[in-house]
Amino acid sequence: MRSPPVRRRLLLGLGLWAVLGWLGLGAAPARAQGVELIQLQSGRSDGALTLEFAARVTLPKAVEDAMARGVPVYFVAQATLRRDRWYWRDERVARVSRSWRVVYQPLTSSWRVGLGGLNQTYATLAEAMAAVTRSAGWRIAELSQLEPGKDYYIEFSWRLDTSQLPSPMQIGLGGQADWAIGAERELPVELP
């Protein structure tokens, strides 16, 4: 069975959003599932394409309660650099990711954030989340990998990774919207 033409699918999609908006069920486009990307930009530094991001996160009560009980929670940022191609799928040039582990330490009443082998301690959850929700100078790819005159873009995502929660907690999380925290965005890359 043939799919409807793109124009008809677009009109059907717009009509659906209009109905949802009229009913008050439409989601705000700048904010997705508790995460608002307030900054996302690419740059160049030391012969590399870099990425800078900052997000504002509102944690649901269920997530905060689990974290306050000492459950380690993981947040993941992922960036994929792609080259536009008209004849086939866009080519993946590079993919990088970072994973932060946030855990409450009840004996010291502090929050510990781990990134790779580095750990930092914070006094409050807000301070710990500030460290997890921003990054500057994150190397995405070497500029030598990019061809002049071609169009590139970055697919960026930041989310709570439920696959790294303790196994007993993962049971039944599939249908709980409280644990589906994340945002995605595409960013065009400006080349000289």
The string of pLDDT tens digits covering residues 32-74 is 468 899 999 999 999 999 999 999 999 988 889 989 999 999 9
Residue with tokens 């995405």: 140
Selection from 130, 121, 116, 122 nearest residue 57 by Cα: 130
The strands making up 182-189's β-sheet, listed across from edge to edge, are 118-122, 110-115, 91-105, 73-83, 152-160, 182-189
Residues in CB range of 143: below 8 A, 6 or more apart: 44, 47, 48, 49
Q: Which residues touch 70 (CB under 8 Å, ≥6 apart)?
A: 103, 104, 105, 106
Tell me phi and psi for residue 68, to 5 degrees: -65, -20
The answer, yes or no, to whether residue 27 has pLDDT greater than 70, is no
Tally of CB atoms within 10 A around 19: 11
Query: The pTM is what?
Result: 0.76
CB 63 within 8 A of CB 161: no
Residue 180's pLDDT band, with cuts at 50, 70 and 90, is confident
> What is the band of 174 on the pLDDT scale with cuts at 50, 70, 90?
low
Residue pair 58/129 in contact (Cβ under 8 Å)? The answer is no
Q: Are 56 and 38 in contact (CB under 8 A)?
A: yes
